[in-house]
């Protein structure tokens, strides 16, 4: 697919420039010299991306099923986190794909809705699963203020052109004391290691991923828009269909989880996906 590209300033601090970091094919990740944010530059225009996402998710029923199996352990862990730290009520899952996470939460007694940009995924979630889905992006849905007890986004934030706009919008639609749960990959440390070892790879998944957040960076962004009490965790691992990927996901995911717990929930193993919880402040 051909992409129309645009040069951008840092999506977090709006600083110009960017030091080349890693290249994948014709795409390049750069690091902002001011705030250290890692992002794709140049990147596809919004129009190119919307077109791209119409083909991003699988369409065939067996692939949809294997996607569901891949995400199940992560969804299960996230549901348990919400039960532990959140209060049951209204939940919005942004970038919901086929809607399997809101479906799970509906079974657990939550009132659920999703936001999605892929029309085929919207059709599936509405027609097959019977869910309420708003066509995205989130900021175009114009949901009311203080409307949800929880907002979730699994592997969403790294796909966004304007992550700060998204985080502000999540904050606005959450009720005071409401909880945001984000799941995101953290790829740069593994890229650095593989480059050192001379192993070629496409782990950034460019140009689908427009940025790569570290736990420190995501917390800074969350706090900047008004979230508090950030809690980081490893949050399980995915189960990809491909055997090699599945084994490495289980090995690294379990190892990271063990180290995290042995360190008293302090050490977040570099390179594996992570989950962060953040709370909207209670009104005084």
Residues, the chain: 284
Nearer to Zn ion, 8 or 64 (CB): 8
Separation of alpha carbons 216 and 169, rounded Å: 21
Nearer to Zn ion, 27 or 37 (CB): 37
Question: Scanning the structure block, which residue is given the tokens 């996901």?
Answer: 249
Burial of 62 (0-12, 13-18, 19+ CB in 10 A): exposed
To Zn ion, the closest distance from the beta carbon of 33 in angstroms equals 8
To Zn ion, the closest distance from the beta carbon of 43 in angstroms equals 15
Nearer to Zn ion, 13 or 143 (CB): 13
Nearer to Zn ion, 33 or 176 (CB): 33
Q: Are 78 and 152 in contact (CB under 8 A)?
A: yes
Residues at the contact surface with Zn ion, assessed by CB under 5 A: 10, 12-13, 15, 32, 34-35, 37
Q: Are 96 and 263 in contact (CB under 8 A)?
A: no
To Zn ion, the closest distance from the beta carbon of 213 in angstroms equals 13
To Zn ion, the closest distance from the beta carbon of 14 in angstroms equals 7
Separation of alpha carbons 268 and 216, rounded Å: 10
Nearer to Zn ion, 37 or 148 (CB): 37
User: 64-96: buried (b, 16+ CB within 10 Å) or exposed (e) per residue?
Assistant: bebbeebbbbbbebbbebbeeebeeebbbbbbb
**Pick from 185, 117, 184, 106: which is nearest to 150 by CA?**
106
To Zn ion, the closest distance from the beta carbon of 18 in angstroms equals 8
To Zn ion, the closest distance from the beta carbon of 163 in angstroms equals 12
Nearer to Zn ion, 104 or 212 (CB): 212
**Pick from 67, 47, 50, 64: which is nearest to 6 by CA?**
47
To Zn ion, the closest distance from the beta carbon of 16 in angstroms equals 9
Question: Scanning the structure block, which residue is given the tokens 């936001």?
Answer: 115
What are the tokens at 124?
A: 């599936």
- The phi-psi region of residue 128 (left if phi > 0; otherwise alpha if psi is between -120 and 50; otherwise beta) is alpha
Nearer to Zn ion, 16 or 248 (CB): 16
């Amino acid at each position: 697919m051909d992409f129309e590209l645009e040069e951008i300033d840092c999506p977090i601090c709006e600083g110009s420039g960017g030091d080349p970091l890693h290249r994948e094919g014709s795409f390049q990740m750069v690091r902002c010299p001011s705030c250290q944010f890692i992002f794709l530059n140049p990147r596809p225009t919004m129009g190119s991306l919307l077109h791209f996402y119409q083909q991003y998710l699988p369409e065939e029923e067996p692939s949809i099923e294997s996607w569901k199996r891949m995400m199940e352990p992560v969804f299960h862990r996230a549901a348990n986190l919400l039960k532990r730290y959140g209060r049951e009520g209204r939940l919005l899952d942004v970038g919901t794909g086929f809607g399997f996470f809101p479906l799970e939460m509906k079974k657990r007694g939550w009132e659920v809705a999703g936001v999605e940009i892929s029309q085929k995924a919207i059709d599936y979630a509405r027609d097959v699963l019977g869910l309420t889905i708003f066509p995205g992006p989130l900021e175009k849905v114009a949901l009311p203020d203080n409307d949800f007890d929880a907002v979730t986004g699994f592997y969403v934030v790294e796909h966004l052109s304007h992550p700060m706009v998204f985080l502000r919008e999540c904050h606005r639609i959450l009720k005071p004391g409401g909880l945001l749960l984000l799941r995101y990959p953290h790829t740069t440390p593994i890229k650095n290691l593989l480059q050192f070892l001379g192993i070629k790879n496409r782990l950034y998944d460019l140009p689908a991923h427009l940025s790569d957040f570290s736990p420190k960076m995501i917390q800074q962004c969350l706090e900047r828009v008004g979230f508090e009490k950030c809690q980081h965790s490893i949050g399980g691992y995915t189960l990809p269909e491909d055997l090699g990927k599945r084994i490495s996901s289980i090995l690294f995911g379990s190892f990271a989880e063990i180290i995290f717990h042995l360190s008293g929930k302090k050490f977040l193993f570099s390179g594996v996906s992570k989950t962060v919880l953040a709370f909207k402040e209670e009104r005084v």
